[in-house]
Structure 1
Amino acid sequence: MTDQSSPRPAAPDTDALLARRLAAAGLEVRSLRPVTGGMAAVARIATLSDGSEVFAKTLTPVPGPDLFEVEAEGLAALRDLGGVATPEAVRVAPDVLVLRALRPRPDTPRFWERLGRAVAALHTTTVTDRFGWHRDGWLGRMRQDNTWHDSGHEFYARRRILRWLPEPHVRAAFDREDRRALERLCERLPEIVPDIPASLTHGDLWTTNIIADERGEPVLVDPAVSYNWPETDISMLWCTPRPPESDHFFAAYEEAARPEPGWRERLPVLYLRELLCVIAHGDDHWGAADRVREVIAPFRRRG
């Protein structure tokens, strides 16, 4: 999930905690070095006793015993069902996930074009008529409700928007009319979003979750998978800070996937899920609630 503020420093003992959890998973650590980006997890590149390097992450506390199992399953689904490159899991434990170490992405036009075509292939080869996933997942430290629906409008309204309204931080951020405007937006979703079929989606496709393999080819990490409108993935990149070269992603994606007309105009509505999730985590340090109010302004009652 996104964090548009500066990364917050980890607590001093997080390296020791991660090393202990890696040791319990059968991996002896020689050294750890930080990686940037992300929001919820403690992530490090670990050099193991044999000199090899892996990527390791944990949370303090871990919000659920299936957290990393679900993440590893999502990586496998994207790779096996959608054909996109994802790292293989080295270890999956209730309190730590270890992946093969990869490289920072090269922000070149070629890289972003290749990614655009890969995501287009994911979305166009996994089309189905049901929305959801066979199990609930995680987005940051909070549950992602993946209950199956036949209607994309109902799924997005109930499981991606209204699901967040009872959360304490969301209740505190919005007044009654804000909440009612969100509800009206959900009621009018069929007027906003065409009847687009579901595809397998990454679910958290922002720049920090895009890295590269040893050849410089795109690799995706940290998914929150479900079958959903494919444009929900595109909204994550479109609406968050990104390098100028990423324009090549959207050109390549549009050419290969041929989204329904008006897709650019729909993306701020589809990004509401992420904004509400950030607020629910108590991490709105950069104006997420104000951005929500901008999107829902047309759904306020006048006078």
Structure 2
Amino acid sequence: MDKVIRNALHSIGDQTPIESMKQVSGGDINQSYYIRTNKQPYFIKGNEGVPSHFFKVEADGLERIQKTRTIQVPQVHYYDEPENGEKGVLVMDWIQQSGQASPEELGRNLALMHKETADHYGLGHSTFVGELDQPNDWKTSWLDYYRDYRLAPQLQLAIQNGRASAKRRSKLEALLEKLDQWIPEKPEASLLHGDLWGGNWMSDAEGRPYLIDPSVLYGDHAFELAFTELFGGFPSSFYKAYEQTFPLPSNYEEVKPLYQLFYLLVHLNMFGESYGSSVDRILNHYTD
């Protein structure tokens, strides 16, 4: 990985000596490094054996968010498109963190980002949920997108992985058939981070919130907010500031578990049956 990192830095014109290189925490999927050259510090992710567009997708998502000028993201300097299992890296600015995080500013800025919209739902090319491939073609119906490109692929993966019992499969198939009772057809197609949990935002030394590790799409902003509540949630001040800027739909509490279902199915497929009871609880509520 040393050589790959040095080649990446040379590709962006930084041929100054590396003063410091240390591995840091950065998720379960990639190896992550703090690199400081004579020129500046960097945050670099590395991986091997991933699809060639793995880092390109993340870089594209960060660029889309950056272009909205609503919320901070790390500046991307370089990414590889590795072939045949080769090692690749994604080179970004190192964000010096502080303890002065502002959930209120995060809520406001996220709401402003969600006001950036498209004419269709999805993205136009596949992305990733963790290392799972995520179909993300354009759809003119959010209902169709959520059913066909979010829930249905996770059901098929659960069947392949042996994590969809006959009862669970039957209930999920029944839910897909009547999803139109709850999921809207034509909400605003907001730009969404796509994987926004507490570990995917941070604050810099000035306390400004940053989004990291996106899996972007255009879709119902309630989908994003539902996930923020799934694993412990964000401070109440975050939600208050968000709703003051971009109110959630009146049926949000009714639709929230259905949006959380996707992420629970992802965790079921990635990590196993410990998430099965949460999946079944939602299925039982909407199908019994």
TM-score above 0.5: yes
Q: Following TM superposition, where does structure 1 have runs of at least 4 consecutive aligned residues deviating by more than 3 angstroms? A: 26-37, 103-108, 168-171
Change over 3 Å in CA distance of 1:155–1:99 after alignment to 2:
same
1:97 aligns with 2:90: yes
Q: Amino acid of the residue matched to residue 69 of structure 1?
A: K
Whole-angstrom CA distance in 1 between matches of 2:6 and 2:158: 37
1:201 aligns with 2:192: yes
Map 1:108-123 → 2, pairs under 5 A: 108=101, 111-123=102-114
1:54 aligns with 2:37: no
For residue 219 of structure 1, report the CA deviation from its aligned partner.
0.6
Change over 3 Å in CA distance of 1:259–1:299 after alignment to 2:
closer
Whole-angstrom CA distance in 1 between matches of 2:183 and 2:47: 36
Partner of 1:291: 278
Whole-angstrom CA distance in 2 between matches of 1:255 and 1:168: 39
For residue 29 of structure 1, report the CA deviation from its aligned partner.
4.2
Partner of 2:150: 160
| 8 Å Cα contact 1:164-1:277 kept in structure 2 | yes
Whole-angstrom CA distance in 2 between matches of 1:163 and 1:204: 17
| 8 Å Cα contact 2:70-2:110 kept in structure 1 | no
Change over 3 Å in CA distance of 1:168–1:120 after alignment to 2:
closer
Partner of 1:212: 203
Map 1:224-239 → 2, pairs under 5 A: 224-239=215-230
| 8 Å Cα contact 2:163-2:272 kept in structure 1 | no
Change over 3 Å in CA distance of 1:67–1:188 after alignment to 2:
same
Whole-angstrom CA distance in 1 between matches of 2:7 and 2:191: 34
1:147 aligns with 2:137: yes
**Stretches of structure 2 lacking an aligned partner (at least 5 in a row):** 11-16, 82-87
Q: Amino acid of the residue matched to residue 56 of structure 1?
A: I
For residue 259 of structure 1, report the CA deviation from its aligned partner.
1.3
Whole-angstrom CA distance in 1 between matches of 2:184 and 2:98: 34
**Stretches of structure 1 lacking an aligned partner (at least 5 in a row):** 1-16
| 8 Å Cα contact 1:200-1:228 kept in structure 2 | yes
Q: Amino acid of the residue matched to residue 4 of structure 2?
A: R
Q: Deviations over 1:231-284 (max 9, x none)?
A: 1211221111346xx211111111211111131342221122222222323x23
| 8 Å Cα contact 1:182-1:296 kept in structure 2 | yes
Change over 3 Å in CA distance of 1:223–1:128 after alignment to 2:
same
Tell me the SS of whatever aligns to 1:165.
helix
Tell me the SS of whatever aligns to 1:83.
coil
1:41 aligns with 2:30: yes
| 8 Å Cα contact 2:8-2:91 kept in structure 1 | no
Whole-angstrom CA distance in 1 between matches of 2:8 and 2:26: 25
| 8 Å Cα contact 1:46-1:53 kept in structure 2 | yes
Tell me the SS of whatever aligns to 2:79.
strand
Whole-angstrom CA distance in 2 between matches of 1:212 and 1:161: 32
Whole-angstrom CA distance in 2 between matches of 1:214 and 1:85: 13
Change over 3 Å in CA distance of 1:197–1:145 after alignment to 2:
same
Q: Amino acid of the residue matched to residue 80 of structure 1?
A: K
Tell me the number of residue pairs that the alignment of Structure 1 and Structure 2 aligns. Answer: 275
Q: Amino acid of the residue matched to residue 46 of structure 2?
A: T
Give identity over the alignment, percent.
24
1:64 aligns with 2:54: no
For residue 67 of structure 1, report the CA deviation from its aligned partner.
1.1
Change over 3 Å in CA distance of 1:57–1:140 after alignment to 2:
same
| 8 Å Cα contact 2:155-2:164 kept in structure 1 | no
| 8 Å Cα contact 1:239-1:267 kept in structure 2 | no
Whole-angstrom CA distance in 2 between matches of 1:32 and 1:268: 43
For residue 213 of structure 1, report the CA deviation from its aligned partner.
2.4
Whole-angstrom CA distance in 1 between matches of 2:233 and 2:287: 31
TM-score of the superposed pair, with normalisation by structure 2: 0.87
| 8 Å Cα contact 1:84-1:119 kept in structure 2 | yes
TM-score of the superposed pair, with normalisation by structure 1: 0.83
| 8 Å Cα contact 1:232-1:267 kept in structure 2 | yes
Whole-angstrom CA distance in 2 between matches of 1:59 and 1:293: 34
1:175 aligns with 2:161: no
For residue 228 of structure 1, report the CA deviation from its aligned partner.
1.2
| 8 Å Cα contact 1:135-1:146 kept in structure 2 | yes
